[in-house]
Amino acid sequence: MIEINEKIALEHGLKKDEYKKICELLRRNPNITELGIFSAMWNEHCSYKSSRKHLKKLNTKGKKVIQGPGENAGVVDIGDNDAIVFKIESHNHPSFIEPYQGAATGVGGILRDVFTMGARPIANLNSIHFGSPSNKKTRNLLRGVVQGIGGYGNCMGVPTVAGQTSFDESYNGNILVNAMTLGLVKKDKIFYSKATGLNKPVIYVGSKTGRDGIHGASMASAKFDDRIEEKKPTVQVGDPFTEKLLLEACLELMKDDSIIAIQDMGAAGLTSSSVEMASKGKLGIKLNLNKVPCREENMTPYEIMLSESQERMLIVLETGKENKAKEIFDKWNLDFSVIGKTTDTKKIELYFNNERVVNIPIDYLSAQAPEYDRKWKKSKTPQKINYKKKDFKKLKITEILKKVISSPNVCSKEWIWEQYDHTVMGDTIQKPGGDAGVVRVHGTQKAIAASVDSSASYCYAHPLSGGKQVVCETWRNLISVGAEPIAITNCLNFGNPEKPENMGEFVECVQGLNEASKYLDFPVVSGNVSFYNETKDQGIKPTPTIGGIGLIKNYKDMLTMDLKEFGNLLFVVGKTEGHIDQSIFAKEILNERKGPPPEINLFNEKNNGVTIIKLIKDKLVESVHDVSLGGIITGIAKMCIKARKGAKIYKYKGLLDKFEYYFSEDQGRYIIEVKKDNIEKVKKILDNNSNHYDLIGEVIKDNVEIDDEPTLSVDKILELNKNWLKNYMLN
């Protein structure tokens, strides 16, 4: 028997004072299995020990919120007894170590979070972030991650309808892979993870348990160093075909009243699932580990409890329902085993070879897990860059547009999303490449829009503003397709929280996120925190990722960003202040990376969004696209690309420098296309609602014409936009 000491505890990722607290709670030294369980439940990934204090401040309530944070996923009401279950989670560290399996099992895990609650998954999204294109690892990491996402999602038969990809040198040593899933469920058939009742059978279903993924949760809360290859055994191995069987078997069992509670075995596997179910129900749980189906010989209690083998569920059943449940899982060729029962002890008790090998009060692992109030450092607002007229003297708008539209973070990501099945199930009505993905609610007139966004540069420059911005960006993307925004999920990717500057980024980002969420009535219903995203003490830029959903009551009212008809006029709704700090223009053209992000005016943000929704509902606009990376001209160019139509941009006569006007990234703005017959109606609504607007151009054939500069063909813009990533991946 291994004698447990402080050195072994530290090797498990625990701190000295944490190990001391464990010994004090137990009034003895833990054994190796107990130590492993504590290390899993007390790490950042499971306990949120550095973030809980601040996450409690988030706006989580709303008229349509059925379930907020604290369950496997959030749930919102979309009417007619229908509800949407959704969540986003990270799988960053595993994807950097082994990109295919890391990304694949990230998709598998978030799918289980959704169907565990009784929902059939209807859409996947992702937000993936890679190092500089010049970094030698970037290309292979990107290829592996995309193949992993597509490989798992496609096999599951769930469409991938939207996503986001970015490149930045801060991800050279630590890529980000955030996966999001939406599911559809009837409000009266939602399942939860809270165990209730005594002596209820605890059931293991799904795949057998192996040695893959052991310490996966702990590894997710660790920094990387030169020994990264040694961590490959901690990466889970996925089997989407088995998960498809598990999905169908669980949904079949959920048709009656057999299930009391259900929890997927994700991070920390059987440990977290059993502890969480018992903790929520204020019960105990007793398990016989000899009854856990194992695919490898001589597995120890430690290995069984810490394995993160995929495609597994833990279920608390009503007494007497075991045989019926077993028949269902046998039919789907899945393992089924009664491995324990609920108790009144409020302890987790584990038996192996007729010996009790674990005896821990549940509260020690949950309620009494550490909660830290980390020191944090407030960010300074960067000084605005004072650009001189000479900086712009030799610039040509068309040449700038060509560089911006083909830059890594603006270019088309078609090479990525064409590897995903985005039409399976037959309800996708807006595929990737637009402002948001849209899927019909099968058999109804309703549709759900979904978008995922992040903005590391803005957050790095000023975390408070960046936190607000990323929520607003998601809000605008949903509005642009005609959806009324309902709620968001977040995946908060940051560096080492033990460093005050990193913790400060987190605290201020969360504050900004919360301010925007409250003002826009856009509550947070689920989420995930990923800390320690750093290698050799070099952390990533703070990257809060926001996934949002919205409702379109009649899918025929959905809007797309492609220009519709020659002669229609183009307006910019929202005031352009000329902010180019932190813009693509500043980085790609002026080689300037300093300065503050654009300011967020939440009143204007909400007012402009509400007005755009009204214009869409009144059928007064033909297309809408929000203004984001690359500014107005880039936004119009993308609308041209989608439609294979051109645009004539009228000569700018305002007070700003024309480059500031065309390429600034001021927030809260939309480009709208309006028929001439509707101009006066649109203007009246904009004026009545006090929305600033500019008439900027009109739709023409084939070319983009700007001032007196050389004409740029839409075909050329399309080529530049589409080819960068494709050519990069061919090299």
pLDDT of residue 389: 78
Query: Rounded to whole angstroms, how far apart are CA atoms 200 and 320?
Result: 9
> What is the maximum span of the chain, computed from C-alpha positions, in angstroms?
86
Nearest to 494 by CA among 53, 167, 90, 42: 90
Measured in whole angstroms, how far is the alpha carbon of residue 19 from the centre of its chain? 33
The CB-side HSE value for 188 (13 A sphere, CA atoms) comes to 5
Query: Rounded to whole angstroms, how far apart are CA atoms 344 and 282?
Result: 8
Averaged pLDDT for residues 317-335: 97
Structure tokens at 648: 């004539």
Query: Rounded to whole angstroms, how far apart are CA atoms 204 and 311?
Result: 11
* pLDDT tens by residue, 489-537: 999 999 999 999 999 999 999 999 999 999 999 999 999 999 999 988 8
Percentage of residues in the chain having pLDDT higher than 90: 92
Q: Is 283 helix (H, G, I), strand (E, B) or coil?
A: coil
| Average pLDDT of the chain, as a whole number | 95
Residues with a catalytic annotation lie at 45, 91
pLDDT of residue 228: 47
Judged against a pLDDT cut of 80, whether residue 563 lies above it is answered with yes
Query: Rounded to whole angstroms, how far apart are CA atoms 209 and 296?
Result: 8
Give me the phi and psi of 272, to 5 degrees please: -65, -40
Question: Residue 1: pLDDT band by 50, 70, 90 thresholds?
Answer: low
* pLDDT tens by residue, 210-245: 988 787 554 455 555 555 455 455 577 889 999 999
pTM metric for this prediction: 0.95
* pLDDT tens by residue, 670-697: 999 999 999 999 999 999 999 999 999 9
State the DSSP string of 386-454.
Answer: ---GGGTTT--HHHHHHHHHTSTTTS--HHHHTTS--STTS-EEE-TTSSSEEEE-TTSS-EEEEEEEE
The DSSP bridge partners found for residue 350 are 287, 358
Question: Residue 312: pLDDT band by 50, 70, 90 thresholds?
Answer: very high
